[in-house]
Chain A
Amino acid sequence: MEKIEFDYSKYDFKNSTAKYKILFNEGLSEDIVRKISKLKDEPEWMTDFRTNAYKFFVKRPVPEWGADLSKINFENITYFARATDKKTNNWADLPDDIRDTYDKLGIPEAEKKSLSGVEVMYESEVVYNSIKKELEELGVIFCDTDTAIKQYPELVKKYFGKVISPNDNKFAALNSAVWSGGSFIYVPKGVKVPMPLQAYFRINAANMGQFERTLIIADEGSDVTYIEGCLPAEELVSNGETFSTIESISKGNGVISHKGKKRKVEQTFQHKHVGDMFTIIPQSKGNSFRITGEHPVLCIRRESVMTKRKKRYNWEREVSTKNLMKAEPKFIPVKEIKKGDFLVYTAPIFTKNSNELNDDKLRLLGLYLAEGSVSFNKAIKRDVLQFSFGKTEKERELASEVLKIIKKNGEKGSITKTRGGYYTVASYSKTFINLCLKHCGHGASTKILSKEIMELPAKKQMILLRYYWKGDGNIYIRKKSNSKMLRAATVSRILVYQLQEILARNGIFSNISIRKASKDIINGRKIKRKEQYILEFTEDKHLGEVRRKDNYFFVPIKKIIKNSFYGMVYNFAVEKDNSYLVKGFAVHNCTAPVYSKDSLHAAVVEVIAHKNAHVKYITVQNWSSDVYNLVTKRAFAYENSFVEWIDANMGSKVTEKYPSVYLMEPGAKSNVLSVALANKGQHQDTGTKAVHLAPNTSSVIQSKSICLNGGRTTYRGLVKVKKGATDVKSSTRCDALIFDDFSRTDTYPYMEIDEEESTISHEASVGKIGDEQLFYLESRGLSELEAINMIVLGFIAEFVEELPIEFAVEFNRLIKINMEGAVG
């Protein structure tokens, strides 16, 4: 296994657009625009709309009032691309993170068959359909804009291009001519959509296109939140003690290489990926991961290890274990691997003994992991360690074993039998409380094993594991193979991968399957079940086709799913072995070159909020630094309606974006809250317009901008009050945080107030990041970077509060990534 060779000549590093069958990248003409419309089989009015818009696009000059756009080469842009593969229509074909999104929203699980064994399938279309059904029952239309034109032609035609005319500006004109994808949402009268809608909901992944077109219509009294932005793949990478998401790993961190050794990360990369994304589903489905096609994974081709035997009866040719054991795994790009090929799961090989953790303590910790908790007893104001067992004699024995261990160490504890007949061990021992918290964590979903345990010699780890099994595990006989299966379930996502790694260190491969979160009713009470991770293995037989060789396991791939993808991907370079483990499986440092060509993202978003409606539109923009992001967003707000733009811009080379609200009728309100972060080479030219066309309308504008390393932010805003629009209230507040003398921030607040009876305020502040603030935080042990991050996150805290919690976490992380280079 030591001599795994890597053959670079096999990969073609061509333009990733090669995967597209139909492609127009020879510049733009009216003819091309017509062709696009024809290919999409559009009605005549849309073809006319496009060609008309194209004329405006040609006529209008590139705007020169803002950021430098002179380097955009319109001849060099791909205006339309259609993937060779059909759009996927199957929920099961969706990547994990998309399904996770559903879970976070608490979508009920339609079937509860997931505990039926190893072959747990991700819930199929049922779940997708259930949300679709929920929306349908509410009368909400949510689909991509292309589909909407076919299915709801009248509705689309009534509003499309009415808020933003094709002649509004050069880039709106371009979008109108060549648009593709985007979301269409219609919320009927009085309907309040209970969850934020995301582009992920749509089964077709073309949402992140370059020229997407979104149209949201909120009818009278309705309420809807829409989120735009990409959550990156959260793949878990092993570092031998725990698992971290790939995006959170930084230079200098240790990870495990395909040789099972600890290696340092030399460099991290993130870049925009346009093209295919593969989901690899191995025999243990919980170990599925997503990866780009060029990325090599350690693999044994199935065809190279088949038996020579001819077909007998109706048997298929089988894999020969002998051949498999002899085979040399190779790094092969994902796009070339096939279903049935073997991936290599690697167990770390380094160990470190711990004197503190003797066998007794490991037994106790195993039971704590399964049955234990630490809580604060309010009555006596002390922490208490508790183990809750069942009613049986066996359970009583376990309880007394725990007590014995506690007492043997000179500490106190007691066993009680509850009224229901359950045995409970309780102890106030500080020693044991600290032991449990240190090595196993706190709370069911956050239980996690310590570094010391993960690095213990395999045999000692097995002691803990066996006792864990006594608590949380169960045994059943698999009929098919007559093998004795051991199974346990946990709600801690990290713990399950740790347990799998421990078993692997002990020479046992285990399957992980995931039982989706769900709502359930027990004794008439509605409860929310958390996502459960089920781990199973057998000690006496092979688990399916999995075979072991030293610290490696060859695991067959059950399914490979290919989706189109447009978003950020993460990767890093590892010293010496040039590899790392994604959920245990060895993958090579990515060899694909970072695709560097300035590209253009010109979207149009139109929002119509009818009487009393509320629309909240959240954007987290994190394009790679070669993108010109020139987006037109505008809303019409009618009587007493409320429109909010929550808009963050931290990616792209240049962004020009001014989400606007036209307050059309009395009582309409708007709130625009934006964050802009400009690092080296970036210019965020952002702002808003509030156009008050009716009396009693109000607008609140808050802008926060941060610039560093020569980055530039510009706030450009317009508050306009039409004559006759009396009693208008408008307040603007712009705060800028500037890091150094090379960076620049400007504020251009324009006002056109034609009505005297209005209250307009404007405040602006520019602050340099405070040396005294940094000194204060550093004196409390924070590094300079941590201190900067803390100050920056504090600066934009009001913005983060507007985000749904799962996005807030992600957002803070993205900010930190984008602050790279903040410390000289």
Chain B
Amino acid sequence: MEQIDIKGLEVSVNGKKVLNGVDISVQRGKIHVLMGPNGSGKSTLANVIMGNPKYIVNAGSIKFDNEDILKLKVNERAKKGIFLAFQEPVEISGVNTMNFLVTAHTNLKGKNPELRKEIIKKMGELNLSELFLKRSLNEGFSGGEKKRFELLQVMLLNPKIAILDEIDSGMDVDSVRLLGEITKKLSKDTGFLMITHNENILDYIKPDIVSIMKDGKIIRSGDYQLIEQIKKEGYKQLI
């Protein structure tokens, strides 16, 4: 089974411990929702899986397909099929968006002479203007557009495991619905680790697993009914 397995992960950044023994797994074809209060370490976890060099792994393991990926470079993890949709996608001046997509696609999926058409089609589905392709990467995009652009990349790059770091924040209601539909469709082939604060997204998708994180640890895991409980009672009751 293609899946990410994380065991006993301890991570620090700038000398401060931020993850204190995380155990979690994400399976291909399943949706795993990760929730928890701000600062609980959710984004850190997302960054560490992708290999952000800012974070130091002190203990534990991350395996993908039973292979230890902690030693792999960021782009090597991407080539294995791991994708991170960023909470705050960076802007890069002068880097043409179309050019960026083609380069990313060529690196991860190979050349596709039809890519341009595919991009335009998918942008249509996401209600993103073609004009973005002529702009600099993420420059002049609104918050919601940046998030939809991340989603576009999930659709184009077709990863095995996609980590969506608060992709729904900054999205309007229609976009959240669209996000739900697309995720559901893609989840046949892709495993999702969906980090969110927003229970509304869960009106459109039915997660296979829900985990709650606090103080750098997973404190509860369960099925989607856990969300109902959070909706009613908030985190405090769970903690």
Physical interaction between A and B: yes
Chain A residues packing against B (C-beta within 8 Å): 374, 376, 383, 437, 442, 770-773, 775-784, 786, 790-791, 793-798
- Is B53's beta carbon under 8 Å from chain A? yes
Contact B78 A781, beta carbon cutoff 8 Å: yes
Closest to B116 in A: A376
Interface segment among B20-28, B92-100, B182-190, B229-237: the answer is B92-100
CB pairs A–B below 8 angstroms (17 shown)? A773-B92, A776-B86, A776-B90, A778-B73, A779-B83, A780-B75, A781-B107, A781-B108, A782-B75, A782-B107, A784-B73, A790-B92, A791-B95, A794-B94, A794-B95, A797-B93, A797-B94
In whole angstroms, what is the CA distance A793 to B113 when docked? 24
In whole angstroms, what is the CA distance A770 to B89 when docked? 13
Contact A786 B92, beta carbon cutoff 8 Å: no
Contact A780 B90, beta carbon cutoff 8 Å: no
Given A790-B95, A798-B94, is A779 in contact with B113 using a C-beta cutoff of 8 Å? no
Given A780-B153, A796-B94, is A442 in contact with B113 using a C-beta cutoff of 8 Å? yes
Given A782-B75, A783-B75, is A775 in contact with B107 using a C-beta cutoff of 8 Å? no
Distance in Å from the Cβ of A430 to the closest Cβ of chain B?
Answer: 10
Q: Which residues of A contact B89 (CB under 8 A)?
A: 776
- Is B35's beta carbon under 8 Å from chain A? no
- Is B117's beta carbon under 8 Å from chain A? yes
Contact B92 A775, beta carbon cutoff 8 Å: no
A790 is contacted by which of B50, B75, B79, B100 (Cβ under 8 Å)? B100
Q: Which residues of A contact B95 (CB under 8 A)?
A: 790-791, 793-794, 797
B104 is contacted by which of A376, A437, A780, A783 (Cβ under 8 Å)? A780
Contact B78 A779, beta carbon cutoff 8 Å: yes
Distance in Å from the Cβ of B190 to the closest Cβ of chain A?
Answer: 16
- Is B66's beta carbon under 8 Å from chain A? no
Contact B108 A775, beta carbon cutoff 8 Å: no
Contact B94 A795, beta carbon cutoff 8 Å: yes
Closest to B75 in A: A778
Contact A778 B94, beta carbon cutoff 8 Å: no
Q: Which residues of B contact A784 (CB under 8 A)?
A: 73, 75
- Is B38's beta carbon under 8 Å from chain A? no
B103 is contacted by which of A383, A779, A790 (Cβ under 8 Å)? A790
0/1 string, B183-204, CB within 8 A of A gives 1: 0000000000000000000000
Closest to B52 in A: A775
In whole angstroms, what is the CA distance A772 to B47 when docked? 11
Distance in Å from the Cβ of A444 to the closest Cβ of chain B?
Answer: 14
Q: Which residues of B contact A797 (CB under 8 A)?
A: 93-96, 136
Contact A786 B113, beta carbon cutoff 8 Å: no
A784-B73, A795-B93 known, 15 other contacts, Cβ within 8 Å: A773-B90, A775-B52, A775-B54, A776-B89, A778-B73, A778-B74, A779-B51, A779-B84, A779-B86, A781-B78, A786-B103, A786-B107, A794-B136, A797-B96, A797-B136
Q: Which residues of A contact B79 (CB under 8 A)?
A: 781
Closest to A781 in B: B107
- Is B114's beta carbon under 8 Å from chain A? yes
Distance in Å from the Cβ of B204 to the closest Cβ of chain A?
Answer: 26
Closest to B93 in A: A794
Contact B113 A437, beta carbon cutoff 8 Å: yes
Q: Tell me the B194-231 residues at the A interface (CB within 8 Å).
A: none
In whole angstroms, what is the CA distance A778 to B107 when docked? 10
In whole angstroms, what is the CA distance A688 to B137 when docked? 31
Distance in Å from the Cβ of B69 to the closest Cβ of chain A?
Answer: 13
In whole angstroms, what is the CA distance A437 to B114 when docked? 10
In whole angstroms, what is the CA distance A794 to B73 when docked? 23
0/1 string, B28-55, CB within 8 A of A gives 1: 0000000000000000000000111110
Q: Which residues of B contact A437 (CB under 8 A)?
A: 113
Distance in Å from the Cβ of A772 to the closest Cβ of chain B?
Answer: 5
Q: Which residues of B contact A794 (CB under 8 A)?
A: 92-96, 136-137
Contact B136 A782, beta carbon cutoff 8 Å: no
Q: Which residues of A contact B96 (CB under 8 A)?
A: 794, 797
In whole angstroms, what is the CA distance A442 to B96 when docked? 23
Contact B94 A782, beta carbon cutoff 8 Å: no
10 shortest interchain CB distances as A-B pairs:
A794-B94, A781-B107, A797-B94, A794-B95, A778-B74, A780-B104, A781-B108, A781-B78, A778-B75, A776-B90
Q: Which residues of B contact A773 (CB under 8 A)?
A: 90, 92
In whole angstroms, what is the CA distance A798 to B96 when docked? 12
In whole angstroms, what is the CA distance A782 to B95 when docked? 14
Distance in Å from the Cβ of B216 to the closest Cβ of chain A?
Answer: 21
Q: Which residues of B contact A778 (CB under 8 A)?
A: 51, 73-75, 78
A771 is contacted by which of B53, B73, B117, B137 (Cβ under 8 Å)? B53
Q: Which residues of A contact B83 (CB under 8 A)?
A: 779
Distance in Å from the Cβ of A38 to the closest Cβ of chain B?
Answer: 53
In whole angstroms, what is the CA distance A790 to B86 when docked? 19
Contact A781 B94, beta carbon cutoff 8 Å: no
Contact A770 B90, beta carbon cutoff 8 Å: yes
Contact A771 B54, beta carbon cutoff 8 Å: yes
Q: Which residues of B contact A780 (CB under 8 A)?
A: 75, 78, 100, 103-104, 107-108, 153, 157
Q: Which residues of B contact A771 (CB under 8 A)?
A: 53-54
Q: Which residues of A contact B107 (CB under 8 A)?
A: 780-782, 786
In whole angstroms, what is the CA distance A782 to B74 when docked? 9
0/1 string, B66-78, CB within 8 A of A gives 1: 0000000111011
In whole angstroms, what is the CA distance A770 to B78 when docked? 20
Distance in Å from the Cβ of A766 to the closest Cβ of chain B?
Answer: 14
Distance in Å from the Cβ of A121 to the closest Cβ of chain B?
Answer: 38
Most buried by A among B75, B84, B103, B136: B75
Closest to A801 in B: B94
In whole angstroms, what is the CA distance A796 to B114 when docked? 29
Q: Which residues of A contact B137 (CB under 8 A)?
A: 794
